[in-house]
Amino acid sequence: MKNIILTAAAASIALVSCGTVQSLVQNTFPYTANVLISTGVPANKEVSSTATASNVQTWFGGNNNAKIKDVRISDAKISVVTPSGGNLSAFKTIKVYISSSGTGERLVASRTNISTDASSLTLDLENTGFLDEVVKSTGVTVRTVYELKNQTSSDMNLRIALNFSSIPAN
């Protein structure tokens, strides 16, 4: 009986250890940016808004020296921050581009023919390849290009949340 309990405990520790190693090997990190949609934005016209993106690494000096590679977009979501109870029904299309100091702009996510009255929406990911040079540079910016179906009745603040995945570099 004692051996069974010790074996079960050892197996549990091994499984937890494997999970920890897995999370260290497969690194996922988010970037967020805020976008203001003003009431004066006309309908049926593409409009662009650029914002500096931030993540936890920004507080600790950035990803410049990060030992990561094969960085890819893994998730992109847009959500209404204000007004409270606001929704995305006014939007026709949304495109999200990222860039950083010394790198070209890359389309990472988009959605066309938006037909929802939800307050958040998962965007379709674009096949951008690896984004190592963008994420590992300083000053990551997010440019959001959107088109409205109709003008909004009040200012709207949106949050763009981009998640990236990577593996450790050798």
d(CA 19, CA 21): 5
Number of residues in the chain: 170
Torsion of Cα atoms, 94 then 100 then 104 then 109, to 10°: -20
User: Where are the extended beta strands (E) located within the chain?
Assistant: 27-37, 46-52, 68-82, 91-99, 106-111, 120-122, 124-125, 141-148, 156-168
Q: In whole angstroms, what is the distance from residue 117 CA to residue 15 CA? A: 42
β 91-99/27-37 pair status: unpaired
Per-range mean pLDDT, top range of 2-16, 92-106, 128-142: 92-106
Tens of pLDDT, residues 27-83: 777 889 999 998 888 999 999 999 888 875 543 344 555 677 888 999 999 999 999
The answer to whether 80 and 156 have CB atoms below 8 angstroms apart is yes
Rounded Cα distance, 94 and 15, in Å: 42
pLDDT category, 10, cuts 50, 70, 90? low
Domains in the chain, start-ordered, CATH in brackets? 28-168 (2.60.120)
pTM (2 d.p.): 0.78
